[in-house]
């Protein structure tokens, strides 16, 4: 790990806030230059969000010390570059097509981003990913189920990467709730250089709240905590997420409903003459190959229906990425497509 972390981060003495120096209960707090009035918003929030993490720990069966919470998954994605990748010197390897933020954060941090295409059917070839790595590769980015293709990457291929690459392997599981097969959270203790990302933005219905999760070894989480803004998760988010976790059953009902709708939407799409292929999805969207993605996209915009045009994305020519909506929304889409 010492060889993977940037030297300045290894040597970093993190900012010590008042809430770090004194932990515990007291009756008079005069240590943080807060206003004594306007409770509870006058006080700085818990910098390590232990209450939320303890609840996440219970539902995910991961120790609270192995969890980092961020302003969406975007925050841990950026922090991974800042912790491990020396600008202009190190590189990362990612699959293509995949989520755009890995590449954007590489550019922001001035780190070389090496893109390895998936096979035509979006399956992963571990040997190609491994072949793209060299002594300066710090991170391999995987996303499973993958965005925008929607498929789960094969476990045995990911294992080849975990077993043969000596750097950090990130598996972004933003859509894991929609996939019945497996999560890599169960393998965290087996692979000390594995980071798993999940989020409250999709299945939990909390995209506006901005709360993402990174799961890793205590050592890696320690580096996240050193580098992140001290109070990165505000008290409103901490309280709301904590309350939402108490309603996990509701999330499970939503997922069930969306999975049913996903099957129905796929079936309806497959019956349309303008649809050439609906790719198998383990997520809450369907990558759909159509006869004319640009024309259909613009037509739908005219009807007030917005899907994602992925036509210019690698391996996604003439593809639209369609999020599964409510029954009514999906039917509105299908009716419009029938009239195209
Ligand atoms: C939507 C999505 C996320 C979620 O990002 P947040 O910043 O947590 O909202 C992360 N990864 C992938 C691949 C996504 O598609």
Token output for 205: 């219905």
Query: 22-26, 219-223, 239-243, 246-250: which has the minimum mean pLDDT?
Result: 22-26
Reported as a pLDDT band with limits 50, 70 and 90, residue 23 is confident
**Which residues, including other chains, have CB under 8 Å from residue 90's CB and lie 6 or more apart?**
84, 111, 112, 136, 137, 138
**Candidates 199, 212, 310, 321: which one to mutate for ligand 1, based on the most atoms within 8 Å of Cβ?**
199
Output the residue whose Cα is nearest ligand 1's atom 11: 174
Q: What is the pLDDT of residue 94?
A: 98
147 lines ligand 1 (CB under 6 A): yes
Q: What is the pLDDT of residue 22?
A: 81
C-alpha to C-alpha distance for 202 and 45, rounded to whole angstroms:
25
Q: What is the pLDDT of residue 1?
A: 86
Residue with tokens 């995987």: 142
Tell me the CA–centroid distance for residue 31 and ligand 1, in Å. 37
**Helix H segments across 74-201?**
74-84, 101-108, 126-131, 155-164
- Round the average pLDDT of the chain to a whole number and report it: 96
Reported as a pLDDT band with limits 50, 70 and 90, residue 25 is confident
Q: What is the pLDDT of residue 146?
A: 98
At residue 51, φ and ψ (nearest 5 deg) are: -65, -45
Is residue 236 over pLDDT 90?
A: yes
Token output for 191: 């692979």
Q: What percent of the chain has pLDDT over 70?
A: 100
């Amino acid at each position: 790990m010492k060889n993977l972390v940037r030297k300045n981060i290894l040597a970093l003495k993190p900012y010590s806030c008042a809430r770090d120096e004194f932990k515990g209960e007291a009756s008079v707090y005069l240590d943080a230059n807060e206003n004594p009035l306007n409770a509870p918003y006058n006080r700085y929030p818990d910098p390590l969000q232990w209450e939320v993490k303890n609840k996440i720990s219970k539902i995910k069966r991961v120790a609270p010390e192995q969890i980092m919470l961020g302003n969406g998954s975007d925050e841990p994605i950026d922090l991974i570059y800042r912790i491990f990748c020396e600008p202009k010197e190190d590189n990362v390897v990612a699959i293509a097509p995949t989520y755009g933020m890995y590449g954007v954060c590489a550019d922001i941090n001035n780190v070389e981003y090496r893109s390895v295409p998936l096979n035509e059917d979006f399956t992963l070839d571990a040997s190609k990913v491994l072949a793209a790595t060299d002594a300066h590769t710090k991170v391999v980015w995987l996303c499973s189920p993958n965005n925008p293709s929607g498929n789960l990457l094969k476990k045995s291929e990911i294992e080849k990467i975990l077993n043969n690459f000596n750097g950090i392997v990130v598996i972004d599981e933003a859509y894991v709730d929609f996939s019945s097969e497996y999560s890599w959270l169960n393998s965290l203790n087996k692979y000390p250089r594995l980071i798993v990302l999940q989020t409250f933005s999709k299945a939990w219905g909390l995209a506006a709240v901005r709360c993402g999760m990174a799961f890793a070894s205590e050592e890696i989480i320690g580096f996240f905590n050193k580098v992140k803004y001290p109070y990165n998760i505000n008290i409103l988010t901490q309280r709301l997420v904590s309350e939402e976790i108490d309603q996990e059953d509701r999330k499970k009902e939503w997922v069930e409903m969306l999975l049913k709708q996903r099957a129905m939407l796929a079936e309806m799409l497959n019956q349309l003459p303008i649809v050439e292929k609906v790719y198998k999805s383990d997520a809450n969207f369907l990558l759909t190959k159509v006869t004319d993605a640009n024309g259909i996209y613009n037509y739908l915009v005219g009807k007030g229906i917005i899907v994602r045009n992925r036509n210019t994305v690698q391996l996604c020519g003439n593809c639209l990425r369609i999020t599964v909506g409510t029954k009514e929304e999906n039917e509105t889409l299908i009716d419009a497509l029938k009239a195209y």
